[in-house]
Structure 1
Amino acid sequence: MATIRARKRADGTIGYTVQIRINRDKELVYQESQTFARKQAAQAWAKRRETELAEPGAIERATRTGHTVREMITRYMLERAKVEPMGKTKKATLLAIAASYLGDIVDSAVSSQVLVDYALWRMGPEGGAVQPQTAGNDLAHLGSVLSIARPAWGYEVSPHAMTDARTVLKKLGYKMKSRERDRRPAMEELDKYIEHFFEMQKRRPSSINMPKVLAFALFSTRRQEEITRICWADLDEERQAVKVRDMKNPGQKIGNDVWCHLPDEAWAILQSMPREREEIFPYNSDSISAAWTRASKFLEIDDLRFHDLRHEGISRLFEMDWDIPRVSSVSGHRDWNSLRRYTHLRGRGDQYKGWKWFCKVRDAPVVLGEGGLLSCGP
């Protein structure tokens, strides 16, 4: 028989613990327990689990030592670290999942019901009251772990649990996918950023030359991490192109080196950097991110990310009547559907023609500091 008890967790939230105990000839032969965020989920699991355990051989199978979600996540992170560094967002998300009640659930108990319950818990006040898109990201990152847990390590994970959970959540009306972002910087906002960063350069000449980094990101459409990896050896002077190493791609990242054309403005800014290091922009990506965040807060500019400069650069090229193949030769996109997500037009023509900041940014001196430098591969 299964019993359900409500217990207060250390963080003040209520968990519902299901305990199943099976006796044979007055001897305890099997017991297990699971904790859920919702009582309804606990009741559903208890009913399903009792039915499963009543089948021939079920007790024997159930007595095997299971592996928790936390163990699976830990192993996944260790294996991934051997190949490439994990993104900060994905790493933080997986660690948070491992630290939650879901981390204690064993592989064989990870069902679509358990995953749906976790998503609903995350969207509820006890789980942080996150948006459906954030809960969807949690499931996406966890899905990366579950997808290899059975074929790679032999863990008893249902191959359909995640797919079924997403189907259920979709049927319930939750939009788990992130909405397409259409934020582009206004000229007035860019003016504020560049003025602010030039002022910082006066105070600390050897700090990150954010005016050049900002302008290069805008005109080249390159991502923040890509900018800091570009080396002088990666340039093709004749084609005015740069090899973007390990370009982000859903199916491949490591070894996905792509040649991308650099528009004239991006090429001019790149050539204005001193050839004192292997890297053209020898800065730490996290430091660029921190500088952007501090400036946004100081300037009181809301909801503008450094990555939005890529949106701006791609949209600008289309506004200049560049066709899809020509734009993709700059952005590195492989298909129109991906490129479309970055395209949000405001009109026709080049609003940066005669931009008052371009020459000042291009001609600004650069003093390279020490530390935090990256190195290029072969």
Structure 2
Amino acid sequence: MDTLTVDLAERSYPIHIGRGLLKEPGHFEALLKGRRAVIVTNETVAPLYLDTLKQTLAAVHDGPVEALILPDGEQYKNVDTLNRIYTFLLERRLDRSAMLIALGGGVIGDITGFAAATYLRGVDFIQVPTTLLSQVDSSVGGKTGVNHALGKNMIGAFHQPRLVVIDTDTLNTLPDRELSAGLAEVIKYGLIDDADFFVWLEEHLPRLLAREPEALAWAIHRSCADKARVVAQDERESGRRALLNLGHTFGHAIENGMGYGQWLHGEAVGAGMIMAAHLSRQMHWIDDDDLNRTTHLIQAARLPVAPPTGLSAERFKQIMAGDKKVLQGQLRLVLLQGIGTSVVTADFDPGALDNTLNALTRP
């Protein structure tokens, strides 16, 4: 087992990474003592891992461990599903000592975290991510929330977990498409601030696609370490943390424009990073070699390298105008200045953006 720490002073918490951690009760014991616990999961993950986690928690928990099983999919990451969690907790009269445990991918982690942030004005929660994307990104850093018809993750709160437990064995049951979606976020870390990691990914991507445990464990460790460092510097995204959104403004436009759940988040981010790299090239901030290396790695990860047919350039701009990173009416984008170097900026040429959208979109 490997342990990292997200350093946030009195709200710091560990990230445990290793094989078989769902079966080790010691990680949970101190946090569950004297508390009522509720596992929130979904219909896909529950048959695979819910009983295992229940048995593990029963070894260190006096009372019953209840579970709420939600439908699976990005289209259910909304206030209606959130209200189901509130109702479940209220009907059982859970108080502020309650502990919520998110067992699943990014949707479960985000919506459970937001429920924890807002139920009784805030209760504790634990992240137990079971997809590569949630293990390397959404389970770490305290971003929680739900989607709205007018924008992804537009309703939410910063609420840090007390603990993150990453059992890499859960990736054995992950569909290939979901594995590739997670690799988009892994590649992102190399692009924004970790050129050495990008080179490692270029050399070792076949091992990740083959699910070699040692390669996956290292990629997860490096991704979590990169994110933990950024979050410790800028918890609430007032500056540097926004770099973690490389490709996300374009990607969120794809998810929103196509309808939540049509493209996986990582697929949309993969295409979005290509669009960001293309715009960076238009601005002469990167060269052809940087663009080609970025495109090749994302394509090799079996991710889309262009947005879907049916979204026009104008529709992209319309959706992006409502992005969370818009500040005082100005759209801000994360763009590249080289492999491993990135910047959040509103200082881009609108004509270059038009060129990128017109070149890559297929209405």
TM-score, normalised by the number of residues in structure 1: 0.27
TM-score, normalised by the number of residues in structure 2: 0.27
Q: Which structure would you say has the larger Rg?
A: 1
Structure number with the higher strand fraction is 2
Structure with the larger RCO, 1 or 2 (CA within 8 Å, 6+ apart): 2
